[in-house]
């Protein structure tokens, strides 16, 4: 019985992983560590609070020791999950005849689970919806370009990216030489995509993409990013020293029986993952508010 | 004393660029205090603290 359930779960899981990867936005923005194990419930990491200047000389001298100011942070690792039901007869039919599994319910639950994970990576983890226990990229950004630049007007997206890069460069982040990603709420993404210069007919999107040095523009649902806020941040490979997603459990599916009706009751399914965003140097993330 | 409808805010992020006068953005550094319309201050979220 247990083996059949485990096989069933693996089968559903295999149908889920690719679609979930496609819809997930958070994990496309940050370096994701290999899964460390579900048993890890908290993690320590160093936050860089101040980075001093480098030195140039014709030889190494004593007395120039410099310490990067680091504070130790500790956080519990949240779990992102959603439960669903599988009709018992479908499961029995799969067991006897190998009938194709209709994983629609599991997939639907998986999308909800991914949405919860995206929210945690992009906004943060909040119990009351306003105070954040763990900051995501938006809440934890160390720079904020809050100039009123409505993306409905041609040129404002260019100005927002330039403004964000200036702030990051002020903090020693090589924003002009590293690939950057920009994340926009769906409305602003649509405005940028449709932004055409009224006289020359030049599209604004390709100019913005060139300014990102090889990075991309992503659209996030407005449940994840507020309607007038965007993000500018290094791509996962370039941003790894600044922030990452410490994954403890990758997308996993499990199924169990209701003990009241062990032979006829529906199966209870659960899709879950676990991990935490670690922001080590927040000045590499620039919030674009007022866009 | 602040003007009616404005509040004093202290910058909590490393750098904050804001155009209190349209088209004239200014950059404030962490710890700096400036006067800002209350509505605008609310939109700045945790980037500032009202003092």
pLDDT band at residue B46 using 50, 70 and 90 as cut-offs: very high
The mean pLDDT value for A16-27 works out to 91
| A228 vs B contacts (CB less than 8 Å) | 43
Cβ-count burial A52-77 (b if 16+ within 10 Å, e if not): eeeeeeeeeeeeeeeeeeeeeeebeb
| A146 vs B contacts (CB less than 8 Å) | 16-18, 43-44, 47
| Mutation site for A-interface testing, chosen from B9, B15, B22, B28 by largest number of A Cβ within 10 Å | B15
Q: What percent of chain B has pLDDT over 70?
A: 98
Q: Which residues of A, range 168-197, sit inside 8 Å of B by Cβ?
A: 170-171
Cβ atoms of residues A180 and A233 within 8 Å: yes
Residue A4 has a pLDDT of: 86
Residue B41 has a pLDDT of: 93
Q: Phi and psi for B11 in degrees, rounded to 5?
A: -75, 130
Residue in A139, A144, A148 closest to B16 by CB: A144
- Contacts by residues B32-36 (CB-CB < 8 Å, ≥ 24 positions apart): B33/B8, B33/B9, B34/B8, B34/B9, B35/B2, B35/B3, B35/B6, B35/B7, B35/B8, B35/B9, B36/B6, B36/B7, B36/B8, B36/B9
Task: Look at A104 and A35; give whichever has higher pLDDT.
Answer: A35
Residue A210 has a pLDDT of: 98
Q: pLDDT for A150-197, tens place per residue?
A: 999 999 999 999 999 999 999 999 999 999 999 999 999 999 999 999
| A51 vs B contacts (CB less than 8 Å) | none
Distance to chain A for B47, nearest Cα, Å: 7
Helical H segments across chain B, by residue range: 38-43
Residue A53 has a pLDDT of: 62
| A287 vs B contacts (CB less than 8 Å) | 13, 47
Across chain B, mean pLDDT equals 92
Whether residue A137 is predicted with pLDDT greater than 80 in this model: the reply is yes
Q: pLDDT for B20-35, tens place per residue?
A: 998 899 999 999 999 9
> What is the Cα–Cα distance from A262 to B50, expressed in whole angstroms?
59
Cβ atoms of residues A159 and A290 within 8 Å: no
**How far from the centroid of its chain's Cα atoms is residue A145's Cα?**
21
Q: What is the ipTM of this complex?
A: 0.94
* R_g of chain A computed on alpha carbons: 23
Q: What percent of chain A has pLDDT over 70?
A: 92
Asked if B44 lies within 8 A of A146 by C-beta distance, the reply is yes
Q: What percent of chain A has pLDDT over 90?
A: 59
> The whole model's pTM is what?
0.90
Q: Which residues of A, range 85-144, sit inside 8 Å of B by Cβ?
A: 139, 141-144
Residue A75 has a pLDDT of: 85
Asked if B45 lies within 8 A of A146 by C-beta distance, the reply is no
Cβ atoms of residues A142 and B14 within 8 Å: yes
Q: pLDDT for A208-228, tens place per residue?
A: 999 999 999 999 998 899 888
How many CA atoms are closer than 13 Å to the CA of A179, on its beta-carbon side?
Answer: 11
Across chain A, mean pLDDT equals 89
| A173 vs B contacts (CB less than 8 Å) | none
Q: pLDDT for A46-103, tens place per residue?
A: 887 665 566 676 766 665 555 556 677 788 899 999 998 888 988 888 888 877 777 8
Cβ atoms of residues A218 and A180 within 8 Å: no
**B43 touches A: beta carbon within 8 Å:** yes
The mean pLDDT value for A37-41 works out to 92
> What is the Cα–Cα distance from A272 to A274, expressed in whole angstroms?
7
């Amino acid at each position: 019985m247990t083996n059949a359930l485990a096989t069933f779960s693996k089968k559903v899981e295999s149908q889920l992983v690719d679609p979930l990867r496609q819809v997930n936005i958070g994990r496309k923005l940050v370096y994701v560590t290999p899964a460390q194990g579900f048993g890890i419930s908290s993690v320590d990491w160093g936050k860089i609070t101040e980075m001093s200047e480098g030195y140039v000389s014709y030889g190494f001298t004593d007395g120039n020791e410099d310490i990067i100011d680091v504070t130790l942070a500790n956080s519990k690792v949240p779990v992102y999950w959603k439960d669903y039901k599988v009709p018992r007869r479908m499961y029995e039919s799969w067991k006897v005849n190998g009938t194709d599994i209709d994983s629609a319910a599991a997939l639907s639950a998986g999308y909800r689970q991914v949405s919860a994970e995206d929210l945690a990576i992009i906004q943060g983890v909040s119990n009351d919806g306003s105070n954040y226990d763990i900051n995501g990229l938006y809440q934890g950004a160390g720079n904020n370009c809050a100039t009123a630049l409505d993306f409905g007007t041609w040129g404002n997206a260019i100005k927002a990216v330039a403004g964000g890069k200036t702030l990051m460069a002020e903090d020693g982040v090589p924003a002009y030489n590293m690939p950057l990603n920009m994340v926009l709420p769906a409305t602003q993404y649509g405005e940028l995509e449709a932004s055409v210069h009224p006289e020359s007919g030049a599209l604004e999107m390709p100019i913005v993409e060139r300014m990102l040095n090889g990075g991309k523009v992503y659209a996030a649902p407005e449940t994840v990013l507020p309607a007038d806020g965007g993000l500018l941040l290094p791509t996962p490979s370039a941003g790894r020293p600044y922030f990452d997603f410490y994954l403890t459990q990758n997308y996993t599916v499990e199924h169990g029986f209701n003990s009241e009706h062990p032979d006829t009751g529906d199966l209870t399914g659960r899709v879950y993952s676990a991990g935490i965003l670690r922001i080590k140097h927040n000045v590499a993330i620039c919030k674009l508010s007022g866009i | 004393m602040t003007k009616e409808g404005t509040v004093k805010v202290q910058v909590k992020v490393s750098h904050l660029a804001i155009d209190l006068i349209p088209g004239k953005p200014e950059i404030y550094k962490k710890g700096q205090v400036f006067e800002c319309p209350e509505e605008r201050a609310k939109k700045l979220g945790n980037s500032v603290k009202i003092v």
